[in-house]
Amino acid sequence: MESSRDNYNELVSQDKKLMKYIKALEENEEVKQYKKLLKKREDLLKSIKYAYNGILKEKYINCNHVWAILDEKTLKKEGNSQNYCICVKCGLDESVVYKKAKCDNAIVLSDKEKLMYEVLKSGEHKKGIYINISSNRDLIKAVYDYLKALCPNMSDEELRERFQNEIDNLADIKGEPSKEREAAKRLNVNVSLLRK
Ligand SMILES: [Zn+2]
């Protein structure tokens, strides 16, 4: 019967053979070229990400914001007691400042949130108009996407008015399942989002 030692020795010997093949392949010019290209691509992807972040930051800085208030439920769930706004157009989210303070560590912020934090901290975002409504992030985004597709060229004032009407309307139909389903279909969201 094969002993544990024999089994071990056999496996080590197999590994040695494998390493010999791998080493030989590493000396191959095509393999060398392949590894070089992989490294080049890795660097390129980093640059692409950096360039994309630049675009995103410009978007946050240059947007004439249309602010909506994050609803109490959302804020409470995230341990917030203060009111925060989110721009329905670019998604700049003031609650990121709170998130940063709570963690006191930028590592837990996503790359996007870190960018938001930089813009919010610089104070370059304090402009635009306010919609007098509060809602959760997903619904705010869904309503904006819906309205934007419906009237791509609307002015900010028009957006504010339509947004307000849409959210008011959603509040009115709350608790009426068939109307909720209809609205969810129109906004392309799960009906549960309207019942939050
Ligand atoms: Zn904005």
Q: Hey, is 38 helix, strand or coil?
A: helix
Structure tokens at 31: 């393999």
pLDDT, one tens digit per residue, over 55-112 is 999 999 999 999 999 887 777 776 766 778 999 999 999 989 888 877 665 568 888 9
Residue carrying structure tokens 């309503």:
143
What percent of the chain stands above pLDDT 90? 71
Query: Which pLDDT score is estimated for 133?
Result: 86
Report residues near ion ligand 1: CB below 5 Å. Answer: 63, 65, 87, 89-90, 92
Q: How many residues in total does the chain contain?
A: 196
- What is the Å distance from ligand 1's center to 129 Cα? 10
- What is the Å distance from ligand 1's center to 62 Cα? 8
pLDDT, one tens digit per residue, over 120-143 is 998 877 789 999 888 889 999 999
Residue 62: Cβ-neighbour burial (10 angstroms; 0-12, 13-18, 19+)? exposed
Instruction: Name the more confident of 146 and 2.
Output: 146
pLDDT > 90? residue 21: yes
Instruction: Name the more confident of 18 and 193.
Output: 18
